[in-house]
Amino acid sequence: MAQKRTAWATAALMGITLGVAAVPAGAAPARTAQATTACPTGWGSQAETRSAATTESVTNVRTGRHACFDRMVVDVPGAGSGDLGYSVQYVSRVYQDGSGDPIAVGGGAVLEVRVTAPAYDPDTGKPTYPVRAGQRLKGVDLTGYRTFRDGRFVGSFEGDTQLGLGVRARLPFRVSVTDGRIVVDVAHNWTGAR
């Protein structure tokens, strides 16, 4: 009986030793599919809108690169989050309000971003975001972005400001509002993988 226990103990010890020896020292544990799917998912590509309006003016548009998405921020200082409205949607082409002129925006797909705030002072008509229709967004360099390809100022007409955002392909996006800004995030892909 003691010989049987010794044989079992030896076999168990050999198995444990072989299992430990199979993993090299300092090796990282194997990654699972869940570990590579670290980005938020569940965003869509359908139009997003919010009804609200402000007389505060757009003063800046800026962008940023993040691990899971590219971000555009439209600054409207002085506007409360409840005062900012928007419409963000994929379009085949962007047409300027008022004139109806098409504005060329590069990329595999185009998001039209409308903010219910003027890009001019409503009292004086003086531009607060001085960029001409069709020009690239002032101060925005999209070199090295995974999703964004082009950003154009479309115009500001009757209290609304239009922007064209060219992206690599029709990808999921989300829109959020905080005091003084509207944020548009466009995911790098549909799966949520980094």
Q: How many CB atoms lie within 10 A of CB 87?
A: 17
Taking the model in full, what pTM does it have? 0.79
| Cα–Cα distance for residue pair 11/52, rounded to 1 Å | 73
pLDDT at 193 over 50: yes
Is 164 within 8 Å of 67 (Cβ atoms)?
Answer: no
pLDDT at 163 over 90: yes
Report pLDDT for 3: 52
Site of tokens 């670290």: 38
109-162 pLDDT tens trace: 999 999 999 999 999 999 999 999 999 999 999 999 999 999 999 999 999 999
The class that CATH gives domain 48-187 is mainly beta
Secondary structure of residue 59 in the 3-state scheme: coil
Report pLDDT for 131: 94
User: How many Cα atoms within 13 Å fall on the side-chain side of residue 11?
Assistant: 6
Burial class (CB in 10 A: 0-12, 13-18, 19+), 173: buried
38-79 pLDDT tens trace: 888 789 999 999 999 899 999 999 999 999 999 999 999 999
Secondary structure of residue 133 in the 3-state scheme: coil
Domain boundaries, the chain: 48-187
